[in-house]
Structure 1
Amino acid sequence: MAINKKSLSVRVAGQAAGELFNEQNEFIFRYDSDAAQQDFVSLTMPVRGRDYSHSALPPLFEMHLPEGYLLSVLQRHFAKLNGADDLSLLKLLAPSVRGRVHYQTNTDTTQPLELTDLLSPAAGLFDELVARFALHSPVSGVQPKVLAQIQDKATLCIEDYIVKAWGPDYPQLALNEYWCMRVLKAAGITVPEFYLSDDGALFIMKRFDFTSSGQWLGFEDMCVLAAKSRQQKYEGSYEQLAKTIANFVSPAHKVTALQQFFKMLVLNNRLQNGDAHLKNFGLLYEDIYNIWLAPAFDVVSTTAYIKNDVSALTLMGSRKWWARKHLLTFGVQHCALTQAQANALYDECEQAMQRVATQIQQALVTEEVADKQQILTHLLSCLTPDQIIE
């Protein structure tokens, strides 16, 4: 069978794995005949002789596509030349996809920045980053963001960082995310390395799928694992996420993963993060035998902008914000916790919120910018003792 020109060679950890192409309105992925079992492209797509056929781009490959702001930039500048369909967009970004699954040798010659350039940004830096890195930014999410290469001054190693900005609809979103992530870190939840620029304009987060020994880890978000498209990221429940974690995570990591997920859920409820959807949770792995929960990321208090915002996914059949006793029930019923464990983990979250609330109060004493004051005051209200009435 002849493969049309809209095809893409897929590689896993440097090895040829298969071919992705479009034929008769079907997206087809075909493993090479000599692909080894460890060359699987997704935990949900093991190596086999039969093609994988989808009516849309398979979720694993769709995960590499941008959304929102970056998508509009790429479509505006390149759709006329390259086409606007998902496979054309993926082909456009393919040379810059870096990870366990990639498409061809990266030949990027873009000059890396230094972290200090981002922490003390000049005016207009984010626009410059977009112009410089848009074609090198296969990252999902609707928020304005780019994937930038940063060089460590001491080691001269070049690493990938996700740099996020914000627009007038969501003032001080970087500040919002920075403090929310500080709460999760204080609660003992694994988070990526992250920073806030001195002027609060940029939230900077290091990629977490690359090890210090130079190995790319596999990463799959919950949309991929649930076989859903990015348009379906708000379809599902936190019960289903807990079940996915229990089904996929390796036995050695399962207890920790479910405990971490429970604390993530507690804090997403308390911070009122209405954007904790399927794409904002994921798994990391070295191979099929070593799979664990990915660090927490993309946590913001959305009720700072949408007063009556609700949960991204359902919990106990509702999108409301749940108080302690119901979250404890969730932990026992779906995260394999005892009542004592659930209470202890919730207490860890409470203690973290109290510590960070004190830090926010101190920051408010000297803060003079009105919209920063507003965000910090809102976060402070979220971190006060649980007052939700059932």
Structure 2
Amino acid sequence: MAVNNNPLSVWIAGQAAGELFSEQGEFVFRYEPDMTVQNFVSLTMPVRSRDYSHSALPPLFEMHLPEGYLLSVLQRHFAKLSGADDLSLLKLLAPSVRGRVHYQVDIEAVQPLELTDLLSPTAGLFDELVVRFALHSPVSGVQPKVLAQIQDKATLRMEDYIVKAWGPDYPQLALNEYWCMRVLKAAGITVPEFYLSDDSALFIMKRFDFTSTGQWLGFEDMCVLAAKSRKQKYEGSYEQLAKSITSFVSPQHKIAALQQFFKMMVLNNHLQNGDAHLKNFGLLYENIHNIWLAPAFDVVSTTAYIKNDVSALTLMGSRKWWSRKHLLTFGVQHCELTQAQANALYDECEQAMGLVAAQIQQALTTEVMADKQQILMHLLSCLAPK
């Protein structure tokens, strides 16, 4: 099969919005001549008559490409057929990109699962999921993961879940993420629906950009909003993230967004999440007038595996883990909080850490597997009062 050099048709909510193609070493996106302003492909790419031209695949489109494990699977099996550059890879995945921005209306059907299949997995299930869903998984992130379609038993509705596994380099990563997400949820931070399989082999998270009324929301991560590629996801500061939230989030959501971001920063520091990079924060939107901070996702304690790991981005010019005093200063100076508000939000985080720490201690009383005990003990040390 020859490499496909035809333009890739980009759609917004079922309507053709423009074409993406390569020309003379540049990646070009061209809007349809009659495109309305509300059908923008990205908050950073408003509708205009002039082409958008980039030396690399524009960040909005690159956001749909996989990384790490899944990327290696696709390159190993399909690069000879489709080409190895980013646009060729995007064309390969295009039929399965589901969201406000998509590339083809019709999506090849795959055999659905039920959530109980994931919660009580059989041996080799994740490998089976990779075979079944690899070409249907336009999700970023380096750890083993796939995007699986799950059918609700009661409604028969198809929904998308991200299913993550782990390898020997990061033992019990699913258990790690599950308890970290429980801390954030207990602190009142918006999080997606998530589960841990019975054997702790899989962390399962429901996509959060699809509403109960059947509407796809726009989602853009902070790499896109900062006009950076996925290779630059560790370049930047949390002050810049706060500034992006202030700049892009709609006025009616700005206070809540900055408060949630501040609490995320407090807990990322306590949990020592060294992977809180640009791609692990993002915004959701219905339209240009209704933009808010996306739920928290991909939170793990990386020091469980890398003892002296540091923060993914800089804060106050450093990648160290900061104390309450310094984080309160960050909240006041960059999240538009009063000192009293910052203290109250920090207290909410500490209360959540205490609550979940008690639950982890209870789980330890019946846990017999050494690697699980090690992760749980590490999380307890992170949650201990400092």
TM-score, reference length from structure 1:
0.98
Superposition map of 1:234-313 within 5 A: 234-313=234-313
1:223 aligns with 2:218: no
Superposition map of 1:25-64 within 5 A: 25-64=25-64
- Which residue does 1:123 correspond to in 2? 123
* Partner secondary structure for residue 235 of structure 1: coil
Q: What's the CA shift for 1:106?
A: 2.9
The answer to whether the Cα contact below 8 Å between 1:64 and 1:138 also exists between their aligned partners in 2 is yes
Q: What's the CA shift for 1:7?
A: 1.7
- Which residue does 1:327 correspond to in 2? 327
* Partner secondary structure for residue 365 of structure 2: helix
- Which residue does 1:204 correspond to in 2? 204
- Percent identity, please: 87
Q: What's the CA shift for 1:111?
A: 1.1
Measured in 2, the distance between the counterparts of 1:124 and 1:12 equals: 37
1:369 aligns with 2:369: yes
Superposition map of 1:325-364 within 5 A: 325-364=325-364
- Which residue does 1:192 correspond to in 2? 192
- Which residue does 1:96 correspond to in 2? 96
Measured in 2, the distance between the counterparts of 1:340 and 1:229 equals: 38
Measured in 2, the distance between the counterparts of 1:142 and 1:106 equals: 28
Measured in 1, the distance between the counterparts of 2:186 and 2:268 equals: 14
- Which residue does 1:157 correspond to in 2? 157
Measured in 2, the distance between the counterparts of 1:338 and 1:384 equals: 26
Unpaired runs of 5+ residues, structure 1, are none
* Partner secondary structure for residue 262 of structure 1: helix
Which whole-Å deviations, capped at 9, do the CAs of 1:38-79 have from their partners, x for residues lacking one? 110000000000000000000000000000000000000000
Measured in 2, the distance between the counterparts of 1:335 and 1:97 equals: 34
- Which residue does 1:78 correspond to in 2? 78
- Which residue does 1:108 correspond to in 2? 108
- Which residue does 1:180 correspond to in 2? 180
- Which residue does 1:140 correspond to in 2? 140
Measured in 1, the distance between the counterparts of 2:317 and 2:193 equals: 34
Measured in 2, the distance between the counterparts of 1:198 and 1:329 equals: 41
How many residues are paired up?
383
* Partner secondary structure for residue 107 of structure 2: coil
Unpaired runs of 5+ residues, structure 2, are none
Which whole-Å deviations, capped at 9, do the CAs of 1:62-120 have from their partners, x for residues lacking one? 00000000000000000001100000000000000000000011332101100000000
Measured in 1, the distance between the counterparts of 2:230 and 2:138 equals: 14
Measured in 2, the distance between the counterparts of 1:152 and 1:28 equals: 40
Measured in 1, the distance between the counterparts of 2:235 and 2:80 equals: 32
Which whole-Å deviations, capped at 9, do the CAs of 1:108-156 have from their partners, x for residues lacking one? 2101100000000000000000000000000000010000000011111
Which letter does structure 2 place at the counterpart of 1:211? T
Which letter does structure 2 place at the counterpart of 1:208? F
Say what the alpha-carbon RMSD is for the aligned residues. 0.6
